Amino acid sequence: MKKILCSMAFLLTTAAVSSAQQNYSDDHQINPHGERVLSKGMVAMDNSGIFVPYEFTRHAVGDNNILIEIMYSGICHSDIHHVHEDWKTESYPLVPGHEIAGWIVRIGKDVAKFKVGDYAGVGCLVNSCGSCEYCLADQEQYCETARVLTYGSPDVFHGGEMTQGGYSNNIVVSEDFAISIPEGADLTKVAPLLCAGITTYSPLMQIGVNAGDKVAIAGFGGLGHMAVQYAVALGAQVTVFDITEEKRQLALDMGASKYANVNDPQQMEGMKNYFNTIISTIPASYDVKMYVDMLAIDGSLAFVGLSANKDVPSIDIATLIFQGRRNLFCSQIGGIKETQEMLDYSVANGIYPMVEIIEPSRIEQAYKDVIDGKVHFRYVIDMSNLN
Ligand code: NDP
Ligand code: ZN
Protein backbone atom coordinates (compact mmCIF):
# COMPACT_ATOMS: atom_id res chain seq x y z
CA MET A 1 0.00 0.00 0.00
CA LYS A 2 2.82 2.36 0.94
CA LYS A 3 4.51 1.64 -2.39
CA ILE A 4 1.28 2.35 -4.28
CA LEU A 5 0.86 5.69 -2.51
CA CYS A 6 4.48 6.60 -3.30
CA SER A 7 3.93 5.75 -6.98
CA MET A 8 0.78 7.87 -7.07
CA ALA A 9 2.64 10.78 -5.50
CA PHE A 10 5.34 10.31 -8.09
CA LEU A 11 2.85 10.35 -10.96
CA LEU A 12 1.23 13.50 -9.61
CA THR A 13 4.61 15.16 -9.26
CA THR A 14 5.52 14.12 -12.79
CA ALA A 15 2.36 15.74 -14.12
CA ALA A 16 3.14 18.93 -12.21
CA VAL A 17 6.66 18.88 -13.60
CA SER A 18 5.48 18.70 -17.21
CA SER A 19 3.54 21.95 -16.93
CA ALA A 20 6.34 23.57 -14.94
CA GLN A 21 8.73 22.47 -17.68
CA GLN A 22 6.67 24.37 -20.24
CA ASN A 23 6.64 27.51 -18.10
CA TYR A 24 10.35 27.32 -17.50
CA SER A 25 11.15 27.15 -21.22
CA ASP A 26 8.93 30.17 -21.86
CA ASP A 27 10.46 32.17 -19.01
CA HIS A 28 14.03 31.50 -19.99
CA GLN A 29 14.04 32.21 -23.72
CA ILE A 30 15.68 35.50 -22.77
CA ASN A 31 18.57 33.65 -21.23
CA PRO A 32 20.10 31.37 -23.88
CA HIS A 33 23.00 29.00 -23.37
CA GLY A 34 26.19 30.89 -22.62
CA GLU A 35 24.71 33.68 -20.53
CA ARG A 36 24.49 33.88 -16.77
CA VAL A 37 21.43 32.21 -15.33
CA LEU A 38 18.82 34.28 -13.51
CA SER A 39 17.91 32.89 -10.10
CA LYS A 40 15.69 33.83 -7.23
CA GLY A 41 15.93 32.55 -3.71
CA MET A 42 15.64 33.27 -0.01
CA VAL A 43 18.69 35.03 1.36
CA ALA A 44 20.29 35.87 4.70
CA MET A 45 21.84 39.36 4.50
CA ASP A 46 23.49 38.98 7.93
CA ASN A 47 23.66 36.57 10.87
CA SER A 48 20.28 37.57 12.33
CA GLY A 49 18.42 34.55 10.91
CA ILE A 50 16.09 36.75 8.88
CA PHE A 51 15.44 35.63 5.29
CA VAL A 52 14.17 37.81 2.47
CA PRO A 53 13.44 37.15 -1.23
CA TYR A 54 16.48 37.76 -3.43
CA GLU A 55 17.29 37.84 -7.12
CA PHE A 56 20.76 37.00 -8.34
CA THR A 57 22.61 35.30 -11.20
CA ARG A 58 24.59 32.09 -11.43
CA HIS A 59 27.41 31.21 -13.80
CA ALA A 60 26.38 30.13 -17.30
CA VAL A 61 25.60 26.53 -18.15
CA GLY A 62 29.03 25.31 -19.29
CA ASP A 63 29.64 22.41 -21.62
CA ASN A 64 29.60 19.80 -18.87
CA ASN A 65 27.06 21.61 -16.68
CA ILE A 66 23.41 21.00 -16.04
CA LEU A 67 20.76 23.49 -14.97
CA ILE A 68 18.43 22.05 -12.34
CA GLU A 69 15.09 23.58 -11.50
CA ILE A 70 14.90 23.03 -7.77
CA MET A 71 11.73 21.43 -6.45
CA TYR A 72 12.70 20.74 -2.82
CA SER A 73 15.44 21.96 -0.53
CA GLY A 74 16.10 20.54 2.95
CA ILE A 75 17.06 22.59 6.01
CA CYS A 76 20.17 21.09 7.62
CA HIS A 77 21.39 22.15 11.06
CA SER A 78 24.65 23.12 9.28
CA ASP A 79 22.69 25.82 7.42
CA ILE A 80 21.75 27.25 10.80
CA HIS A 81 25.37 27.10 12.01
CA HIS A 82 26.46 28.92 8.85
CA VAL A 83 23.80 31.63 8.94
CA HIS A 84 24.47 32.27 12.64
CA GLU A 85 28.26 32.39 11.96
CA ASP A 86 28.80 29.63 14.52
CA TRP A 87 31.92 28.39 12.70
CA LYS A 88 33.35 31.27 10.70
CA THR A 89 32.69 34.74 9.40
CA GLU A 90 30.35 34.27 6.45
CA SER A 91 30.07 36.14 3.21
CA TYR A 92 26.64 37.76 2.78
CA PRO A 93 24.30 37.76 0.92
CA LEU A 94 24.09 34.02 1.66
CA VAL A 95 21.56 31.66 0.10
CA PRO A 96 21.98 28.42 2.08
CA GLY A 97 20.81 24.93 1.12
CA HIS A 98 22.79 21.80 0.32
CA GLU A 99 20.02 19.22 0.24
CA ILE A 100 18.63 19.81 -3.23
CA ALA A 101 16.25 17.81 -5.42
CA GLY A 102 14.86 18.88 -8.77
CA TRP A 103 14.72 18.17 -12.45
CA ILE A 104 17.04 19.10 -15.28
CA VAL A 105 15.91 21.87 -17.61
CA ARG A 106 19.07 22.43 -19.64
CA ILE A 107 22.32 20.60 -20.32
CA GLY A 108 25.68 21.62 -21.78
CA LYS A 109 26.82 20.07 -25.05
CA ASP A 110 29.25 17.58 -23.44
CA VAL A 111 26.88 16.26 -20.78
CA ALA A 112 26.70 12.47 -21.01
CA LYS A 113 25.14 11.31 -17.72
CA PHE A 114 21.87 13.26 -17.87
CA LYS A 115 19.23 14.47 -20.26
CA VAL A 116 16.66 17.25 -19.96
CA GLY A 117 13.73 16.06 -17.84
CA ASP A 118 15.79 13.76 -15.59
CA TYR A 119 15.54 14.17 -11.84
CA ALA A 120 18.80 15.11 -10.14
CA GLY A 121 20.05 16.10 -6.70
CA VAL A 122 22.91 18.16 -5.34
CA GLY A 123 24.47 17.81 -1.90
CA CYS A 124 27.22 19.77 -0.18
CA LEU A 125 29.77 19.70 -3.01
CA VAL A 126 29.66 21.33 -6.44
CA ASN A 127 33.27 20.92 -7.60
CA SER A 128 36.78 19.77 -6.75
CA CYS A 129 40.19 19.55 -8.46
CA GLY A 130 39.61 16.06 -9.85
CA SER A 131 43.28 15.13 -9.75
CA CYS A 132 44.48 15.00 -6.12
CA GLU A 133 44.73 11.68 -4.28
CA TYR A 134 41.36 12.24 -2.58
CA CYS A 135 39.50 13.10 -5.78
CA LEU A 136 41.06 10.10 -7.53
CA ALA A 137 39.87 7.93 -4.63
CA ASP A 138 36.27 9.23 -4.95
CA GLN A 139 36.65 11.22 -1.72
CA GLU A 140 36.16 14.68 -3.26
CA GLN A 141 34.89 16.01 0.05
CA TYR A 142 38.50 15.97 1.26
CA CYS A 143 39.99 17.62 -1.85
CA GLU A 144 42.63 20.01 -0.56
CA THR A 145 43.21 22.18 -3.59
CA ALA A 146 39.90 23.16 -5.17
CA ARG A 147 36.95 21.91 -3.19
CA VAL A 148 33.88 24.07 -3.87
CA LEU A 149 30.97 23.78 -1.45
CA THR A 150 27.41 24.36 -2.58
CA TYR A 151 27.07 27.73 -0.85
CA GLY A 152 29.22 30.37 0.79
CA SER A 153 32.31 29.00 -0.93
CA PRO A 154 34.58 30.75 -3.45
CA ASP A 155 34.15 28.98 -6.79
CA VAL A 156 37.69 28.80 -8.14
CA PHE A 157 36.36 27.42 -11.42
CA HIS A 158 34.28 30.56 -11.98
CA GLY A 159 36.48 33.48 -11.08
CA GLY A 160 36.16 33.01 -7.33
CA GLU A 161 32.54 34.12 -7.12
CA MET A 162 30.74 32.92 -4.01
CA THR A 163 28.46 29.94 -4.51
CA GLN A 164 24.79 30.21 -3.58
CA GLY A 165 22.74 27.24 -2.42
CA GLY A 166 19.45 25.53 -2.77
CA TYR A 167 16.95 27.85 -1.05
CA SER A 168 16.36 29.00 -4.61
CA ASN A 169 14.59 28.11 -7.83
CA ASN A 170 17.57 26.71 -9.75
CA ILE A 171 21.23 25.72 -9.63
CA VAL A 172 23.96 25.20 -12.24
CA VAL A 173 26.34 22.37 -11.49
CA SER A 174 28.89 20.17 -13.22
CA GLU A 175 27.27 16.86 -14.15
CA ASP A 176 30.04 15.13 -12.18
CA PHE A 177 28.66 16.62 -8.96
CA ALA A 178 24.98 15.94 -9.60
CA ILE A 179 23.38 12.81 -8.23
CA SER A 180 20.92 10.91 -10.35
CA ILE A 181 17.60 10.46 -8.54
CA PRO A 182 16.39 6.92 -9.22
CA GLU A 183 13.07 6.38 -10.93
CA GLY A 184 10.23 5.89 -8.48
CA ALA A 185 11.89 7.91 -5.71
CA ASP A 186 9.60 9.90 -3.43
CA LEU A 187 10.69 13.36 -4.57
CA THR A 188 9.28 15.11 -1.52
CA LYS A 189 11.72 13.18 0.68
CA VAL A 190 14.85 12.79 -1.43
CA ALA A 191 16.58 16.12 -0.74
CA PRO A 192 17.69 15.42 2.88
CA LEU A 193 19.36 12.21 1.77
CA LEU A 194 21.92 14.35 -0.08
CA CYS A 195 23.38 15.51 3.25
CA ALA A 196 21.72 13.87 6.28
CA GLY A 197 21.63 10.54 4.44
CA ILE A 198 25.18 10.40 3.14
CA THR A 199 26.73 11.87 6.30
CA THR A 200 25.44 8.95 8.37
CA TYR A 201 25.58 6.22 5.70
CA SER A 202 29.27 6.90 5.00
CA PRO A 203 30.70 6.29 8.51
CA LEU A 204 28.48 3.21 8.97
CA MET A 205 29.98 1.83 5.74
CA GLN A 206 33.48 2.93 6.73
CA ILE A 207 33.15 1.03 10.01
CA GLY A 208 31.55 -1.97 8.31
CA VAL A 209 28.59 -2.51 10.62
CA ASN A 210 27.40 -6.13 10.64
CA ALA A 211 24.12 -7.78 11.55
CA GLY A 212 23.87 -8.17 15.32
CA ASP A 213 26.35 -5.37 16.09
CA LYS A 214 25.43 -3.07 18.94
CA VAL A 215 25.15 0.39 17.44
CA ALA A 216 24.30 3.64 19.22
CA ILE A 217 23.13 6.83 17.57
CA ALA A 218 23.61 9.95 19.68
CA GLY A 219 21.36 12.85 18.68
CA PHE A 220 18.06 11.77 17.15
CA GLY A 221 17.40 14.59 14.72
CA GLY A 222 17.75 15.02 10.94
CA LEU A 223 21.01 13.06 10.70
CA GLY A 224 20.31 10.78 13.65
CA HIS A 225 17.02 9.42 12.38
CA MET A 226 18.70 8.50 9.06
CA ALA A 227 21.54 6.78 10.94
CA VAL A 228 18.99 4.76 12.92
CA GLN A 229 17.28 3.59 9.74
CA TYR A 230 20.55 2.59 8.03
CA ALA A 231 21.83 0.75 11.12
CA VAL A 232 18.51 -1.08 11.50
CA ALA A 233 18.62 -2.03 7.79
CA LEU A 234 22.10 -3.48 8.34
CA GLY A 235 20.66 -5.72 11.05
CA ALA A 236 22.25 -3.94 14.01
CA GLN A 237 20.74 -3.70 17.49
CA VAL A 238 20.23 0.04 17.73
CA THR A 239 20.16 2.27 20.80
CA VAL A 240 19.23 5.94 20.49
CA PHE A 241 20.48 8.69 22.81
CA ASP A 242 18.74 12.05 22.90
CA ILE A 243 17.74 14.69 25.43
CA THR A 244 13.98 14.44 25.28
CA GLU A 245 11.28 11.89 26.14
CA GLU A 246 9.14 13.01 23.27
CA LYS A 247 10.87 11.06 20.49
CA ARG A 248 11.03 7.70 22.31
CA GLN A 249 8.17 6.05 20.42
CA LEU A 250 9.37 7.37 17.06
CA ALA A 251 12.78 5.75 17.64
CA LEU A 252 11.19 2.42 18.49
CA ASP A 253 8.90 2.70 15.45
CA MET A 254 12.00 3.12 13.27
CA GLY A 255 13.35 -0.16 14.59
CA ALA A 256 15.58 0.93 17.49
CA SER A 257 15.57 -1.59 20.31
CA LYS A 258 16.26 0.99 23.02
CA TYR A 259 15.92 4.73 23.58
CA ALA A 260 17.77 6.45 26.41
CA ASN A 261 17.28 10.00 27.59
CA VAL A 262 20.81 11.09 28.51
CA ASN A 263 19.42 13.46 31.13
CA ASP A 264 18.10 10.53 33.18
CA PRO A 265 21.03 8.68 34.88
CA GLN A 266 18.90 5.56 35.43
CA GLN A 267 18.35 5.14 31.70
CA MET A 268 22.13 5.30 31.15
CA GLU A 269 22.97 2.33 33.36
CA GLY A 270 24.39 -1.02 32.17
CA MET A 271 26.06 0.14 28.95
CA LYS A 272 29.75 0.40 29.91
CA ASN A 273 32.06 -1.14 27.25
CA TYR A 274 28.95 -2.20 25.36
CA PHE A 275 28.75 -0.72 21.84
CA ASN A 276 30.67 -1.78 18.74
CA THR A 277 29.76 1.48 17.01
CA ILE A 278 28.56 4.91 18.09
CA ILE A 279 27.71 7.70 15.66
CA SER A 280 27.43 11.12 17.27
CA THR A 281 25.32 13.63 15.40
CA ILE A 282 24.99 16.02 18.35
CA PRO A 283 25.12 19.70 17.26
CA ALA A 284 25.91 21.08 20.72
CA SER A 285 28.35 20.61 23.58
CA TYR A 286 28.19 17.25 25.40
CA ASP A 287 30.14 14.78 27.53
CA VAL A 288 32.32 12.86 25.03
CA LYS A 289 33.80 10.66 27.77
CA MET A 290 30.35 9.26 28.52
CA TYR A 291 30.25 7.84 24.98
CA VAL A 292 33.88 6.63 24.99
CA ASP A 293 33.12 4.72 28.21
CA MET A 294 30.27 2.94 26.43
CA LEU A 295 32.48 1.71 23.55
CA ALA A 296 33.58 -1.92 23.58
CA ILE A 297 37.28 -2.58 23.03
CA ASP A 298 38.09 -1.94 19.35
CA GLY A 299 34.73 -0.24 19.01
CA SER A 300 34.40 2.88 16.85
CA LEU A 301 33.00 6.31 17.69
CA ALA A 302 32.37 8.49 14.64
CA PHE A 303 31.79 12.20 15.14
CA VAL A 304 29.68 13.93 12.51
CA GLY A 305 27.74 16.48 14.60
CA LEU A 306 29.51 19.73 15.41
CA SER A 307 28.59 22.52 17.80
CA ALA A 308 29.31 26.22 17.46
CA ASN A 309 32.99 27.11 17.96
CA LYS A 310 32.23 28.61 21.35
CA ASP A 311 31.33 25.27 22.92
CA VAL A 312 33.02 22.46 21.00
CA PRO A 313 33.14 19.31 23.14
CA SER A 314 36.51 17.71 23.77
CA ILE A 315 38.23 14.80 25.52
CA ASP A 316 41.79 14.49 26.84
CA ILE A 317 44.38 11.97 25.67
CA ALA A 318 44.89 10.50 29.16
CA THR A 319 41.22 9.56 29.41
CA LEU A 320 41.46 7.80 26.06
CA ILE A 321 44.62 5.89 26.95
CA PHE A 322 43.21 4.75 30.29
CA GLN A 323 40.06 3.59 28.54
CA GLY A 324 42.17 1.46 26.16
CA ARG A 325 42.05 0.63 22.48
CA ARG A 326 39.08 2.44 20.91
CA ASN A 327 38.74 4.06 17.47
CA LEU A 328 37.61 7.68 17.35
CA PHE A 329 37.27 9.42 14.01
CA CYS A 330 35.46 12.26 12.30
CA SER A 331 33.67 12.16 9.00
CA GLN A 332 32.44 14.72 6.50
CA ILE A 333 29.52 13.90 4.20
CA GLY A 334 30.75 11.39 1.56
CA GLY A 335 32.18 11.39 -1.95
CA ILE A 336 29.99 11.68 -5.05
CA LYS A 337 30.24 7.97 -5.92
CA GLU A 338 29.22 6.95 -2.40
CA THR A 339 26.42 9.53 -2.39
CA GLN A 340 24.99 7.95 -5.52
CA GLU A 341 25.33 4.51 -3.93
CA MET A 342 23.56 5.77 -0.78
CA LEU A 343 20.71 7.28 -2.78
CA ASP A 344 20.20 4.14 -4.87
CA TYR A 345 20.30 2.01 -1.72
CA SER A 346 17.90 4.29 0.19
CA VAL A 347 15.32 4.44 -2.61
CA ALA A 348 15.56 0.69 -3.32
CA ASN A 349 14.99 -0.07 0.37
CA GLY A 350 12.38 2.61 1.05
CA ILE A 351 14.66 4.44 3.51
CA TYR A 352 13.62 8.08 3.65
CA PRO A 353 13.65 10.94 6.13
CA MET A 354 10.46 11.95 7.91
CA VAL A 355 9.82 15.37 6.44
CA GLU A 356 7.59 18.36 6.94
CA ILE A 357 7.14 20.40 3.76
CA ILE A 358 7.12 24.15 4.35
CA GLU A 359 6.75 27.33 2.32
CA PRO A 360 9.83 29.52 1.71
CA SER A 361 8.30 32.19 3.97
CA ARG A 362 8.59 29.81 6.95
CA ILE A 363 12.39 29.43 6.94
CA GLU A 364 12.96 31.83 9.85
CA GLN A 365 10.47 30.01 12.07
CA ALA A 366 11.83 26.65 10.92
CA TYR A 367 15.33 27.60 12.12
CA LYS A 368 13.91 28.42 15.55
CA ASP A 369 11.99 25.15 15.62
CA VAL A 370 15.09 23.11 14.75
CA ILE A 371 17.03 24.79 17.55
CA ASP A 372 14.14 24.17 19.97
CA GLY A 373 13.91 20.49 18.95
CA LYS A 374 10.43 20.86 17.48
CA VAL A 375 11.04 19.33 14.04
CA HIS A 376 10.25 15.71 13.20
CA PHE A 377 12.72 15.27 11.57
CA ARG A 378 13.57 17.47 8.59
CA TYR A 379 11.99 20.61 7.20
CA VAL A 380 11.96 20.58 3.43
CA ILE A 381 11.17 23.80 1.58
CA ASP A 382 8.87 23.56 -1.43
CA MET A 383 10.81 25.76 -3.83
CA SER A 384 8.05 25.78 -6.43
CA ASN A 385 6.27 28.19 -4.09
CA LEU A 386 9.01 30.80 -4.22
CA ASN A 387 7.53 34.20 -5.00
P1 NDP B 1 19.18 18.35 14.27
O2 NDP B 1 19.03 19.60 15.07
O3 NDP B 1 18.13 17.94 13.33
O4 NDP B 1 19.44 17.11 15.25
C5 NDP B 1 20.28 17.15 16.38
C6 NDP B 1 19.70 16.24 17.43
O7 NDP B 1 20.61 16.16 18.53
C8 NDP B 1 18.37 16.72 17.98
O9 NDP B 1 17.50 15.62 18.06
C10 NDP B 1 18.76 17.22 19.37
O11 NDP B 1 17.69 17.11 20.28
C12 NDP B 1 19.85 16.27 19.71
N13 NDP B 1 20.70 16.70 20.81
C14 NDP B 1 21.07 17.97 21.16
N15 NDP B 1 21.90 17.95 22.21
C16 NDP B 1 22.06 16.65 22.55
C17 NDP B 1 22.79 15.98 23.57
N18 NDP B 1 23.53 16.65 24.44
N19 NDP B 1 22.71 14.64 23.64
C20 NDP B 1 21.97 13.93 22.75
N21 NDP B 1 21.25 14.53 21.76
C22 NDP B 1 21.30 15.85 21.66
O23 NDP B 1 20.58 18.53 13.50
P24 NDP B 1 21.11 17.74 12.20
O25 NDP B 1 20.85 16.32 12.41
O26 NDP B 1 20.67 18.44 10.98
O27 NDP B 1 22.68 18.04 12.32
C28 NDP B 1 23.42 17.51 13.39
C29 NDP B 1 24.83 18.03 13.37
O30 NDP B 1 25.53 17.44 12.27
C31 NDP B 1 24.98 19.53 13.21
O32 NDP B 1 26.02 19.94 14.05
C33 NDP B 1 25.41 19.69 11.76
O34 NDP B 1 26.13 20.86 11.56
C35 NDP B 1 26.28 18.47 11.61
N36 NDP B 1 26.47 18.03 10.24
C37 NDP B 1 27.69 17.49 9.95
C38 NDP B 1 27.95 17.01 8.69
C39 NDP B 1 29.26 16.37 8.40
O40 NDP B 1 29.60 16.24 7.22
N41 NDP B 1 29.99 15.95 9.40
C42 NDP B 1 26.97 17.11 7.61
C43 NDP B 1 25.68 17.60 8.06
C44 NDP B 1 25.46 18.07 9.33
P45 NDP B 1 16.46 18.17 20.28
O46 NDP B 1 15.81 18.01 18.95
O47 NDP B 1 15.61 17.75 21.39
O48 NDP B 1 17.09 19.52 20.42
ZN1 ZN C 1 23.90 19.33 5.83
Query: 248 CA distance to ligand 1 centroid (A)?
Result: 16
Q: 11 pLDDT exceeds 60?
A: no
Query: 223 CA distance to ligand 1 centroid (A)?
Result: 7
Specify the residue with its C-alpha closest to ligand 1, atom 5.
221
How far, in Å, CA of 181 to CA of 183, rounded? 7
pLDDT for the residue numbered 34:
73
Specify the residue with its C-alpha closest to ligand 1, atom 32.
283
Taking the CA of residue 78 as reference, the ligand 1 atom at the shortest distance is: 34
Q: 6 pLDDT exceeds 50?
A: no
How far, in Å, CA of 73 to CA of 164, rounded? 13
Average pLDDT across the chain, whole number: 92
Do 216 and 277 touch, CB atoms closer than 8 A?
yes
How far, in Å, CA of 303 to CA of 280, rounded? 5
DSSP-assigned states of every residue in 173-218: EEGGG-EEPPTT--HHHHGGGGTHHHHHHHHHHHHT--TT-EEEEE
pLDDT for the residue numbered 22:
38
- The closest ligand to the CA of 166 turns out to be 2
Q: What pTM does this model have?
A: 0.92
- The closest ligand to the CA of 165 turns out to be 2
pLDDT for the residue numbered 33:
52
CA proximity to 337, closest of 189, 179, 226 = 179
Neighbours of 219 (CB within 10 A): 24
- List the Cα angle 68/72/78 in 5-degree steps: 105
Q: 105 pLDDT exceeds 60?
A: yes
**Region 13-34 average pLDDT:** 40
Do 229 and 255 touch, CB atoms closer than 8 A?
yes
Provide the pLDDT confidence category of residue 21 given band limits of 50, 70 and 90: very low
Provide the pLDDT confidence category of residue 387 given band limits of 50, 70 and 90: low
Give CA separation, 154 vs 37, 42, 126, in Å: 18, 19, 11
Taking the CA of residue 330 as reference, the ligand 1 atom at the shortest distance is: 41
| Tens digit of each residue's pLDDT (9 = 90 or more) over 231-287 | 999 999 999 999 999 999 999 999 999 999 999 999 999 999 999 999 999 999 999
Query: 224 CA distance to ligand 1 centroid (A)?
Result: 7
Phi then psi for residue 150, to 5 deg, are -65, -30
Residue to substitute in 80, 142, 223 for testing ligand 1 pocket (most ligand atoms within 8 angstroms of CB): 223
**Region 161-174 average pLDDT:** 98
- The closest ligand to the CA of 368 turns out to be 1
**Region 66-91 average pLDDT:** 97
Query: 367 CA distance to ligand 2 centroid (A)?
Result: 13
Question: Beta strand 119-122 with 258-261: parallel, antiparallel or unpaired?
Answer: unpaired
| Tens digit of each residue's pLDDT (9 = 90 or more) over 27-69 | 333 344 579 999 999 999 999 999 999 999 999 999 999 999 9
- The closest ligand to the CA of 304 turns out to be 1
Query: 304 CA distance to ligand 2 centroid (A)?
Result: 10
> Which residues are near ligand 1 (CB < 6 Å)?
76-78, 81, 195, 199, 218-224, 241-244, 262, 281-284, 286, 304-306, 331-333, 370, 373
